[in-house]
Structure 1
Amino acid sequence: MFLAWNEIKRNKLKFSLIIGVLIMISYLLFLLSGLASGLMNMNREAIDKWDADAIVLNKDANQTVEQSIFNKSKVENTYKQQTTLKQTGVIVSNGKQEENALLFGVKSDTFLLPKIIEGQKVSAENEVVADKTLKDKGFKIGDKLTLSQSDEKLKIVGFSESAKYNASPVLFSNDKTIQNINPSLAEDKTNTVVVKDKNWKQKSLDNDLEAIEIEKFIENLPGYQAQNLTLNFMITFLFIISATVIAIFLYVITLQKTNLFGVLKAQGFTNGYLAKVVLSQTFIIALIGTIIGLALTILTGFFLPDAVPIKFSFVTLAIYGIVLIMVSLIGSLFSILTIRKVDPLKAIS
């Protein structure tokens, strides 16, 4: 480690270039991980707050809530804890701005309704509780909302915790309100039944219904898997780029020091010792690059607007940082193989 650090200090410019590239790679990697977490959260935030075990849908609905409609009596008292959920897409306007949102028809005492942070629960027809996302976009308590697809007008009476569903803000109303807007959701109908019951798989349902595990339901949300696969592919590719960059830089530096390694070997330094020097240098520059990249990422997070769907998990950042250092060490193996092939007699001749 001493020899490795001394060489880095004596060749600041050369090693600074490698560290600079690693900073950019780690910075982009950490930002992408935050973006991936943020986009995942946008899709599943409301569902995670349910803390449910399963969801019952019509088999012909392709696991999509809005396309699933069935009679509530088919699932009545089937599970230990269950509640109906009616859903319809709406475009709402408060006269100043327009927003795409989802309208949920739920009971006021249901576990589907997140914590109210301002105002009150729905107590009358055409009242809604909006999630915090709409508050951040300028909507406020008392706003009268017009709908593009209905003559009904809704009134915001409260705001809940942020509870986006499939990247859309949510308005929570009662069954009567959603029935007025979407007549197909009559009093005896529902889109789905959300279940809290660890033994849900043991319950029997009508042949035209199916119960789906919540995590599987989330994975089948429109665009969810494609989005995650794309971002994860980019993150994986960045790891590969990091290993490649380290390998190329260190390989070039090793070739430039072939004579030096030959002299060291002639003086009795073993291949194992020289390999440790290269690994130590790689660890130091990878650690410095990763820490600076992480610091820049956290600093950037303070200045990003709320509209950017980014969410940092320090556990994920730490794991990615460790993996980045490990792949950098793997990239240095090519240089170690080159050192092993150095012939002291040829190098000093």
Structure 2
Amino acid sequence: MFLAWNEIKRNKLKFSLIIGVLIMISYLLFLLSGLANGLINMNREGIDKWHADAIILKKDANQTVEQSNFNLNKVPNDYKKQASLKQSGVIVSNSKNEENALLFGVTKNSFLMPQLIAGHKFKKDNEVVADETLKDKGFHLGDKLSLSQSDETLKIVGFSSSAKYNASPVLFTNNNTIAKVNPMLTKDKTNAVVVKDKHWKNKSLDNKLEAVGINKFVENLPGYKAQNLTLNFMISFLFIISATVIGIFLYVMTLQKINLFGVLKAQGFTNGYLAKVVLSQTFILSLIGTVIGLALTLLTSLFLPSAVPIVFNYATLLIFGVVLIIISMLGSLFSVLTIRKIDPLQAIG
């Protein structure tokens, strides 16, 4: 380790280039990780807050809530906890701002309602509770909302914690209000029934309905899988690029020091010792690059606008950092193999 660190100090410019490349790779890697988590969160954060086990939908609705429509009496009332969910896509405007949103018809005390952060729950028709992402987009308590597809006017009486569903902000209201906006959702009709029951698979259902596990339901949300696969592929390729770049840099540097390694071998330094020197150098360089890249990522996140869906999972960042260091060290094995093949007599000339 001493020899490795001493060489780094004596050749600051050369090794700074490697550190610079590692900083850029780790910076991009950590940002992509945060973006991937942010996009996942945008799709499922409202669903996760239900803490549900399954959702009941019409079989031919392709596991899409808004396309599902059935009579409530077709669902047996024998689940541990269950709640009707009515959904309608809306475009809301408060005269200054316009936003695509989802209108959820739920009962006031339903577990589908997230925690309030301002105002109160809806008490009468045409009152809504909006999730806080709408608050960030210029909507306020007391705002009167006009709808593009209905003559009804809604009033914001409260804000809940962020509860996006499939990347859309959500407005919560009672069943009477959503029936006015969407006449297909009458008192006896619903789009879905969300259940909390570990034994939901053992319950019998009407042959036109299906119960879907909540995780499977999330995975089948439009665009969810494609989004995640794309970002995961990008992250995987960054790991490969990192190993390749570090491997090439160290290999070139090893070729430049063949005479030096030949002298060291002639003086009795073993292949194992020289391999440890190269691996120690790689570890130091990758550690410095990864730590600086992580610090820059966290600093950047403080200045990103709220519209950028970035959420950091610190355990994931730590794992990615460790994996990046390990992969960088694997990339240095090309240099180790080259050192083993050096003949001291030929290298010295």
Secondary structure at 2:49's aligned position in 1? helix
Corresponding residue for 2:319? Answer: 319
Secondary structure at 2:85's aligned position in 1? strand
Corresponding residue for 2:30? Answer: 30
Q: Specify every segment of 5 or more residues in structure 2 that has no aligned partner in the other structure, as ranges.
A: none
Corresponding residue for 1:293? Answer: 293
Off by >2 Å, runs of 4+ in structure 1: none
Residues 115-194 of structure 1 mapped to structure 2, 5 A cutoff: 115-194=115-194
* Residue 340 of structure 2 corresponds to residue 344 of structure 1: no
Q: Quick one: distance in 2 between partners of 1:76 and 1:139?
A: 39
Corresponding residue for 1:73? Answer: 73
Deviation of the 1:79 alpha carbon: 1.0
Deviation of the 1:97 alpha carbon: 1.0
Q: Quick one: distance in 2 between partners of 1:101 and 1:190?
A: 19
Deviation of the 1:78 alpha carbon: 3.0
User: Which letter does structure 2 place at the counterpart of 1:40?
Assistant: I
Q: Quick one: distance in 2 between partners of 1:262 and 1:56?
A: 72
Q: Quick one: distance in 1 between partners of 2:197 and 2:250?
A: 57
Identity over aligned residues, as a percent?
A: 77
* Residue 104 of structure 2 corresponds to residue 90 of structure 1: no
Corresponding residue for 1:42? Answer: 42
8 Å contact 2:113–2:172 — kept in the other structure?
Answer: yes
User: What are the superposed Cα offsets for residues 79-129 of structure 1, whole Å, 9 maximum, x if unpaired?
Assistant: 111010000000000011110000000000000000011111011011100
Q: Quick one: distance in 2 between partners of 1:266 and 1:58?
A: 78
Deviation of the 1:313 alpha carbon: 1.1
Corresponding residue for 1:17? Answer: 17
Secondary structure at 1:145's aligned position in 2? strand
User: What are the superposed Cα offsets for residues 137-179 of structure 1, whole Å, 9 maximum, x if unpaired?
Assistant: 1111111100000001101110000100000000000111000
Deviation of the 1:8 alpha carbon: 0.4
Secondary structure at 2:187's aligned position in 1? coil
Q: Specify every segment of 5 or more residues in structure 1 that has no aligned partner in the other structure, as ranges.
A: none
Deviation of the 1:201 alpha carbon: 0.7
Q: Quick one: distance in 1 between partners of 2:142 and 2:348?
A: 85
Deviation of the 1:73 alpha carbon: 0.5
Pairs aligned (count):
349
* Residue 329 of structure 2 corresponds to residue 329 of structure 1: yes
Q: TM-score, normalised by structure 1?
A: 0.99
* Residue 246 of structure 2 corresponds to residue 246 of structure 1: yes
Q: What CA RMSD, in Å, does the superposition of the two structures yield over aligned residues?
A: 0.6
User: Which letter does structure 2 place at the counterpart of 1:338?
Assistant: T
Secondary structure at 2:135's aligned position in 1? helix
8 Å contact 2:76–2:205 — kept in the other structure?
Answer: no
8 Å contact 2:55–2:212 — kept in the other structure?
Answer: yes
Secondary structure at 1:211's aligned position in 2? strand
Secondary structure at 1:121's aligned position in 2? coil
Corresponding residue for 1:223? Answer: 223
Q: Quick one: distance in 2 between partners of 1:307 and 1:83?
A: 31
Deviation of the 1:76 alpha carbon: 3.3
8 Å contact 2:73–2:188 — kept in the other structure?
Answer: yes
Q: Quick one: distance in 2 between partners of 1:243 and 1:313?
A: 24
* Residue 127 of structure 2 corresponds to residue 114 of structure 1: no
Q: Quick one: distance in 2 between partners of 1:261 and 1:224?
A: 52
